[in-house]
Amino acid sequence: MPPINPTTPLAAATGLAVFLALAPAAAAQEAPVKDGVSQVKIEMTSDNGGSCVLDSNSAKAGPVTFSVTNKTAASISELELLSNNRILGEKENLAPGLPTVSFTQTLDGGTYQIYCPGASAELQDFKVTGKAEKATGSTQDILAEGVKGYAHYVDGVVDAMVTSVQRLRADIDAGDLEKARAQYAAARPFYERIESDVAGFMLPGFKATDNAGNLDYLVDMRASNLDPAVGWHGFHAVERDLFEKGEITDETKKLAAELQDNVEKLDKLVSTLDYRPEDLANGAAGLLEEVQTGKITGEEEAYSHIDLVDFAGNIEGAQQAFAFLEPGMQKIDADLTKQVNAQFENVTKLLEGYRDPNELGGYKRYTAELKASDATKLSKAIQALQEPLSRIAEKVATAH
């Protein structure tokens, strides 16, 4: 058969099933057992534009080791073991010439699928007979626990933000410029930790396109996304007064009161949020995008230059979201988990070098000079984290 047209999205469950019938006929035999573990060998070849060939297409219930060797299949770089379109285990970074890799899963009786994206037959059935003494636990349950934990985390962050913004307002009402500046820097990171979860909230009665009802705009708009019809609001309007104008006016006090009102609204909305595991992963990826587009460019904190404080807030939020997925991810793809952790570590280590207890928010000011000398380095560290992290959502969304 011809290779699947890469423009045609596979219609998840039913669409994939179509290819089952077209899978190459593997030897209909049960996998041999060695030391109590069934052994299945899978070879990838360039035949028919890319094939995944199993040496056996069934096994006894219990632990099964899949050993995968990419012989000559340049079009295939990963393989997954699925149960009802849910991922049980997988291997990535498969390419011709690399050593054999393997993974082991304890499987109960039933029909599973081997999924080789890019092969001429992408899905093949794998049958397991009998009953396993102890089948692999559900990754979904583990992920669900993590999601619960993350929801608590977000609630806690937003509560802390409300308190911090209340203090900011009090300092502004008192007309204390120095204290207000310090409190501004103290309040900012809370929003930065969770901003991808709260983007898109609209106040009742507003159209989706009207920034006057967009809470994210009202709280976190900046010069670069100013909508002249709605004007300046929120954190950065306050920042402009405190750091650029250098004075607290009646207008500043109005802005601070409005900001407090809006973060309190946000607090109420956040407690109603439901998350799925992929929301955590997509949220983490969104926070990294924020780092690239807002912080490394120095756009976010154009007057106070505390961009690195926000940067650290975004990273902390992303790292927390990932940490709550990690126990589940370990089961799905330990290699990818390790890689993401290593890249997070790389970024946090890099950030450590910018700490300065004498500066607002505890990090060096992101001056034009610092940006000129260090932006590339910072951006590259984030890029290196973005690629592996962006693969997490799919894994957890389809976890068994």
Distances in Å between the alpha carbon of 234 and those of 69, 208, 230, 316? 56, 19, 12, 22
| Choices 25-33, 92-100, 152-160, 360-368; region in contact with another protein by CB under 8 A | 92-100
Strands 37-45, 33-34: parallel, antiparallel or unpaired by DSSP? antiparallel
Q: Which residues contact 323 (CB under 8 A, 6 or more apart)?
A: none
Q: Does 98 bind another protein (CB under 8 A)?
A: yes
Longest dimension (CA), the chain: 81
Question: Quick check: 350 binds another protein (CB under 8 A)?
Answer: no
Examine residue 10 and tell whether it contacts another protein (CB under 8 A): yes
Of 141, 342, 367, 373, the residue at the interface with another protein (CB under 8 A) is 342
Under rule CB under 8 A, how many of the chain's residues touch another protein?
A: 43
φ/ψ region of 120 (left if φ > 0, alpha if ψ in -120 to 50, else beta) reads alpha
3-state secondary structure 12-74: HHHHHHHHHCCCCCCCCCECCEECCEEEEEEEEECHHHCEEEECCCEEECEEEEEEEEECCCC
d(C-alpha 77, C-alpha 195), whole Å = 34
Site membership for another protein, residue 139 (CB under 8 A): no
- Considering only residues 18, 95, 174, 257, which one is a binding residue for another protein as defined by CB under 8 A? 95
Which of 120, 211, 260, 343: binder of another protein (CB under 8 A)? Answer: 343
Binding mask 104-133 for another protein (x = CB under 8 A): -------------xx---------------
Among the listed residues 145, 261, 345, 387, the single contact to another protein using CB under 8 A: 387
Q: How far apart are CA 326 and CA 316, in angstroms?
A: 15
Site string for another protein, 268-307 (x = CB under 8 A): ----------x--xx-------------------------
Note whether 380 binds another protein by CB under 8 A.
Answer: yes
d(CA 177, CA 175): 6
46 binds another protein (CB under 8 A): yes
Q: Give the residues lining the site for another protein (CB under 8 A).
A: 6-7, 9-12, 15-16, 46, 70-75, 77, 93, 95-98, 117-118, 278, 281-282, 339, 342-343, 376, 380, 383-384, 386-388, 390-391, 393-394, 396-398
